[in-house]
Chains A and B, each alone.
Chain A
């Protein structure tokens, strides 16, 4: 290789106006936000919500969460997916944890389908925050996709006692389909992070 990778640096505490301006109330258009689906999007509507916790259990209010997912038929809106659709679902969301009173991230989207050559339906998550010199990758799987999860090579490749950290829990109290997924950066039940 002729060239070396440019080093990563932290997103820092002051990304709001640059990366999520509309969410934080700055006069600059956002390229992406927390609403991935609109009225025309095909598929089962779901909400994904969660918090980011540090090694002492403190909930971070200065993190940025990005999600990347396939559409309801398991197609990524990207040229590398030969089944890629033109249906208008981009599959990318971005939200900071500094505006919700409970410091949650909240995404309204659709249940992804199983993707080509991959296992169970899942959402790819990238985590950024002050104090993180590199972003972290993790995946969210769905509690009520138990059969598919049991066959998923990524999940099944993990130590059994760590798999649960990647399973979003369905909120049975809610009439809507709401899945909760807390991300623990460190300590008890530390979330599985991947070296992608």
Chain B
């Protein structure tokens, strides 16, 4: 008995492959349409990373790279649920996160932006959802940073998220933005997303998630592909 296949990628939710105002898509987008592939065992499976994959500080970016003290910046707690399209929680699934520091500088040696590195901040972390699909991690709010895509271009503050879900078909890499950021309406990457779907990328300030005297809370739910309702023909 084989598991039901996953719903297709919903192309009314995802950005197009080519979006010329984000210039580097132009030479990196296939010109030939993607070939539909009937999901078989190769696509119904994927790597499994559970709680045993995590180090004890992986979920706390304010602590996992300390050398001399605390990282500089506004502490945040980010929480939410990972769900499928039918609203079912996706339990025990890995989230990998990475981000710039509070000054808008990545530790990545490729990043040459003239803003300070923080000796106490890496910017990488991980967590695994609980039985109800819930995750939570701590960090500092990332800064905005300039990029060379267009004149005076700045990326809005964001945190990168990578998820597997139950199979390689549910794989997703995305970016979480912050509410009310004036750079969103100027950002070709955010704007490449269909208008009706964009707001799903913006987290919500949450007083419930805010920890008294410690960190501001942001809520961000993530929806991965669900299963088709009828089994695949064989």
Binds A, one of B44-52, B71-79, B206-214: B44-52
Known: A3-B86, A90-B47. A17 touches B24 (CB 8 A): no
Q: Are A195 and B122 in contact (CB under 8 A)?
A: no
Least distance between A21 CB and chain B CB atoms (Å): 6
Q: Are A194 and B37 in contact (CB under 8 A)?
A: yes
The residue that B27 contacts in the complex, of A2, A7, A55, A162, with Cβ under 8 A, is A55
Q: Are B110 and A62 in contact (CB under 8 A)?
A: yes
Q: Are A16 and B35 in contact (CB under 8 A)?
A: no
Q: Are B106 and A117 in contact (CB under 8 A)?
A: no
The residue that A5 contacts in the complex, of B23, B24, B41, B223, with Cβ under 8 A, is B223
Known: A11-B160, A133-B19. A26 touches B122 (CB 8 A): yes
Asked if B222 is at the interface of the complex by the 8 Å CB criterion, the answer is yes
Q: Are A117 and B31 in contact (CB under 8 A)?
A: no
Asked if A180 is at the interface of the complex by the 8 Å CB criterion, the answer is no
Asked if B217 is at the interface of the complex by the 8 Å CB criterion, the answer is no
Asked if B127 is at the interface of the complex by the 8 Å CB criterion, the answer is no
Q: Residues of B contacting A76 with CB < 8 Å?
A: 41-42, 45
Q: Are B65 and A27 in contact (CB under 8 A)?
A: yes
Known: A3-B83, A133-B14, A185-B30. A126 touches B171 (CB 8 A): yes
Asked if A156 is at the interface of the complex by the 8 Å CB criterion, the answer is no
Those of B34-74 within 8 Å (CB) of chain A: 34-37, 39-49, 53, 55, 64-65
Asked if A142 is at the interface of the complex by the 8 Å CB criterion, the answer is no
Those of B103-162 within 8 Å (CB) of chain A: 106-111, 122-126, 160, 162
Q: Residues of B contacting A11 with CB < 8 Å?
A: 160, 162, 173
Asked if B181 is at the interface of the complex by the 8 Å CB criterion, the answer is no
Q: Are A80 and B45 in contact (CB under 8 A)?
A: yes
Q: Are B223 and A4 in contact (CB under 8 A)?
A: yes
Q: Is the interface of A mostly helix, strand, loop or mixed?
A: loop
- Chain A: residues with Cβ within 8 Å of the partner, total of 77
Q: Residues of A contacting B24 with CB < 8 Å?
A: 130-131
Chain B interface residue number, banded: 35 or more
Q: Are B87 and A4 in contact (CB under 8 A)?
A: no
Q: Residues of A contacting B122 with CB < 8 Å?
A: 17, 26-28
Asked if A44 is at the interface of the complex by the 8 Å CB criterion, the answer is no
Q: Are A81 and B200 in contact (CB under 8 A)?
A: no
Known: A27-B122, A116-B41, A185-B30. A131 touches B35 (CB 8 A): no
| B201 nearest in chain A by CB position | A7
| A12 nearest in chain B by CB position | B160
Q: Residues of A contacting B39 with CB < 8 Å?
A: 196
Q: Are B13 and A5 in contact (CB under 8 A)?
A: yes
Least distance between A94 CB and chain B CB atoms (Å): 9
Known: A5-B85, A18-B125, A191-B30. 16 other contacts (CB 8 A): A5-B9, A7-B13, A7-B198, A7-B201, A9-B173, A14-B98, A14-B108, A17-B107, A19-B96, A58-B27, A76-B45, A81-B41, A124-B43, A131-B28, A192-B32, A193-B30
List A residues at the B interface (Cβ < 8 Å).
1-19, 21, 24, 26-29, 31-32, 54-56, 58, 60, 62, 68, 70, 76-81, 90-92, 98, 115-118, 122, 124, 126, 128-137, 139, 154, 157-158, 162, 185-187, 190-196
Q: Can you spell out 16 A-B residue pairs with CB atoms less than 8 angstroms apart?
A: A1-B226, A3-B84, A7-B13, A9-B175, A13-B108, A17-B124, A21-B124, A24-B109, A26-B107, A115-B41, A124-B42, A126-B168, A158-B35, A190-B31, A196-B39, A196-B169
List B residues at the A interface (Cβ < 8 Å).
2-3, 7-10, 13-17, 19, 22-32, 34-37, 39-49, 53, 55, 64-65, 83-87, 94, 96-98, 100, 106-111, 122-126, 160, 162, 166-169, 171-175, 189-190, 192-194, 197-198, 200-201, 221-226
Give 4 closest A-B pairs by Cβ, nearest first.
A18-B98, A131-B24, A78-B45, A92-B47
